[in-house]
């Protein structure tokens, strides 16, 4: 069965950096584009970024462009999100999700990122 397991969240100070990982299993990872989607506490979903199956095509939300970098390692079945210059408003649960035809059909359990001094 499809499994997505995020890791790397935690408490970081404003201006700091964090790298999130998502380990995928149960499907051919290299066949699918992947997304990061976040949800601030008590708030709605916000799409962050997606990367194509080969990694050649990447898009970001304006709110994170220039600060976040998405990447993948198909040999390791892993997705990453490098987050730099973190702000309080980046505090959220970050989900990785499998993409298919501009929908996200499987989601991980999420990892909490808290940006606070």
Partner 1 sequence: QSALTQPASVSGSPGQSITFSCTGTSSDVGGYNYVSWYQQHPGKVPKLMIYEVSNRPSGVPDRFSGSKSGNTASLTISGLQAEDEADYYCSSYTSSSTLVFGGGTKLTVL
Q: Which residues bind partner 1 (CB under 8 A)?
A: 35, 37, 44-47, 50, 59-63, 95, 101-105, 107-110
Nearest-approach distance from CB 81 to partner 1, in angstroms? 15
Our CB check for partner 1 shows the closer of 1 and 117 to be 1
Our CB check for partner 1 shows the closer of 12 and 33 to be 33
Phi then psi dihedrals of residue 29, to 5 deg: -55, -40
b/e sequence 68-90, b meaning 16+ C-beta within 10 Å = bbbebeeeebbbbbebeebeeeb
Instruction: State the Cα–Cα distance between residues 117 and 97, nearest whole angstrom.
Output: 29
Nearest-approach distance from CB 45 to partner 1, in angstroms? 5
């Amino acid at each position: 069965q499809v499994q997505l397991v995020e890791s790397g969240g935690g408490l970081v100070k404003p201006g700091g950096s964090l790298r999130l990982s998502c380990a995928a299993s149960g499907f051919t990872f290299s066949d699918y584009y992947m997304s990061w989607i976040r949800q601030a506490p008590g708030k709605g979903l916000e799409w962050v970024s997606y990367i194509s199956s080969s990694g050649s095509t990447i898009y970001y939300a304006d709110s994170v462009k220039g600060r976040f970098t998405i990447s993948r390692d198909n040999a390791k079945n892993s997705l990453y999100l490098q987050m730099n210059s973190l702000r309080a408003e980046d505090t959220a649960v970050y989900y990785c999700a499998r993409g298919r035809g501009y929908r996200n059909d499987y989601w991980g359990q999420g990892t909490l990122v808290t940006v606070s001094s």
